[in-house]
Amino acid sequence: MLQAEERMERALASLGEAFGSVRTGRASALLLDRIKVDYYGVPTPVNQMAGIKTPDAHMLVIEPWDKGVLGAIEHAIMESDLGVTPSNDGSCIRLPFPSLTEERRRELVKQCKNYAEEARVAVRKARQDANAALDRCVKDDNLPEDDERRAQAEVQKLTDKYVAQVDEAFKKKEAEVMEI
């Protein structure tokens, strides 16, 4: 039970990370978490090599601690799928985020829906594995079938709880993306 709950919790946390990387109408430092820069031969996340500020809702400012990596950061952002063109002024990089079109918002909602479905599948897989473990306990340890049914009901309640949390997170993200 504890292993199943832990796996379900990890699926929910993974969903939160995936949702954080989806661009909404606002600029967020979380968008840069996935971008890695080649820093002296080591792929390093941008947030570990620079200060990231949001002066307004549609702008990110990246100020690297080592000014020599400005070009590498700019190149990594250009190569990413953010869809933003960085402007380098020699001391910092500015990322202007234009407002999203209705069509782009719908694409992002579809992407979020896919992330939510992946999380639901992970939760159900944890349930399936927990039920398989219960079946093994019945065969190996002579666990009474009544106890097995009770445990399966508990696993199902846990699954329903986490699926509901995934659905709730998706609804919040969908509202955030569709907000103008």
pLDDT digits (tens, 9 = 90+) for 134-175: 888 888 877 788 888 898 899 999 999 999 999 999 999 888
Same domain, 64 and 122: no
Question: 105 with 112: CB under 8 angstroms?
Answer: no
Same domain, 130 and 170: yes
Report residue 23's pLDDT band, with 50, 70 and 90 as the boundaries.
low
Residue 104: per-residue pLDDT = 81
Out of 96, 116, 138, pick the residue that ends a domain.
96
Residue with tokens 């990246």: 62
3-state secondary structure of 66: coil
Residue 25: per-residue pLDDT = 66
Per the confidence metrics, is the pTM higher than 0.75? Answer: no
Q: Residue 171 belongs to what domain range?
A: 2-19+101-178
pLDDT per position as a tens digit, 100-134: 788 888 888 998 999 999 999 999 999 999 999 88
Taking alpha carbons only, the member of 97, 62, 103, 68 closest to residue 82 is 97
More confident residue, 10 or 97: 10
Give the pair of three-digit tokens for residue 78: 């250009």
Query: What element of type H or E holds 106?
Result: helix 102-141
Same domain, 7 and 48: no
Q: Which residues, at least 6 apart from 154, have a Cβ–Cβ distance to it below 8 Å?
A: 1
Count of structural domains, the chain: 2
Q: Which residues, at least 6 apart from 153, have a Cβ–Cβ distance to it below 8 Å?
A: none
Q: Which residues, at least 6 apart from 54, have a Cβ–Cβ distance to it below 8 Å?
A: 27, 28, 29, 60, 61
Residue 113: per-residue pLDDT = 93
At position 40, the amino acid (one-letter code) is Y
Query: What element of type H or E holds 158?
Result: helix 145-178
pLDDT per position as a tens digit, 46-90: 888 888 888 887 888 999 988 888 888 888 888 887 777 888 888
Distances (CA, A) of 46 to 32, 51, 65, 85: 6, 9, 11, 16
